Every structure is written in C-alpha cells, then in structure tokens.
Amino acid sequence: MASDRDKNVLEKHLLDYCQLHQSTFFMHDGAPCHTSKSVTTWLQERTIPLLEWPGNSPDLNPIDNVWHEMKRKLSTHDTSTVYRLQEETKRMWQFEMDGEYFQILAESIPKRLQLVIKCKANMTKY
C-alpha cells in the first residue's frame, strides 16, 4: 500500500475508531507505508501516540494465528475461484470463527510479550 492511500484510510477511519473503542494508542506493523514521513506527521499533528512494536514480530501478532487457522479450515472448502475464496472467507468469519478463540488469543498477549523479552526478541513458540 502506498503511504498516501494509508494516510487516506487513517483520515477516514482512525479517529472515529479510536473514539468508539476508547483507544489510547495506535499500533501499526512498521511497514514503509505506515512509517512514511507523511503518515508519521499526520499522526503527530493529531497527537496520536504510537505503541512501540518491534519490526517483523509474528510472535506478537495474533492475527497470524487467525490466518493460519482460516487457511487450515479453508483447505476443506471449495476455493477454486477468487469469488469462491472470497465467499468462503466471509462465511467463515461470520459463522466458523469462534469468539472464544479470539479471546484466548487476546489473553495470550502478556505471555507472548514475556517470552519475546525472555528470548531477547528471538523466535518463540508462537
């Protein structure tokens, strides 16, 4: 994604989202479009604090676990066309992904952080 497009998405959605969810920090994955000067300036001008996050940290990103689980489940469905893949993915998000699974992932964050610190930012079991 280009930084201009990223900034446009933030402009349209971030402030409302933060207000709705009472978020006090913003976190991005450190991709170049997210750390560009224009995006960084935009965030600073709005005094949006960033959560420090190490680059390339799949151990700290539970969405990677979600995508892995979805890929596993999708392997038993008809995804032979882009349309079918999109439809199966939407259906899976609505009906097959258990909310308890997401809760467990969210609750695993403190343990993940402790392991990453203990391993001095090297890979962990996550």
Q: State pLDDT tens for residues 1-60.
A: 788 888 888 889 888 888 888 888 888 877 788 888 998 998 899 988 888 766 556 667
User: Is 50 in a helix, a strand, or coil?
Assistant: strand
Alpha helices in the chain (DSSP H): 3-21, 37-45, 63-74, 82-91, 99-107, 109-118
